[in-house]
Amino acid sequence: QVQLVESGGGSVLAGGSLRLSCAASGDTSSINYMAWFRQAPGKEREGVAGIQSSGSFTNYVDAATKGRFTISEDNAKNTVYLQMNSLKPEDTAMYYCAATNSRPFWILLPTSYNYWGQGTQVTVSS
């Protein structure tokens, strides 16, 4: 089993930055991929960025997000980060960290992940 705990959310003005953290515990050696997802009220959960446990491969939902967000990991701390810059009001959502033991076909597909954190709220105001 793997437990995930997110932190770092909050309220910022448009153009601001936040760094989300996801601390993993338990059977962390079994994790192959981790990712950040977000879900806004009334919308489906969507993948934002994913990373292979070795850090050798990352993926972002689109080029625009890749230019503003950066996913990284600190294996010594079993922690994955999401640095978010130039935040926009449309980035407002609950952000979730997820992990999987498998090798997903697409690392930004929510159903690829079997472990989830409780989420951390990000609110961006104009």
Q: Per residue in 87-107, pLDDT tens?
A: 999 999 999 999 999 988 889
63 pLDDT band (50/70/90 cuts)?
A: confident
Please answer whether residues 64 and 74 qualify as being in contact, where contact means their C-beta atoms are separated by less than 8 angstroms. no
pLDDT at 59 over 90: no
CA 33 – CA 97 distance, rounded (Å): 11
**Continuous H helices in 1-126:** 63-68
CA atoms within 13 A on the CB side of 32: 11
The span from the first CA to the last CA of the chain, in angstroms, equals 40
Percent of the chain whose predicted confidence (pLDDT) is above 70? 99
pLDDT at 55 over 90: no
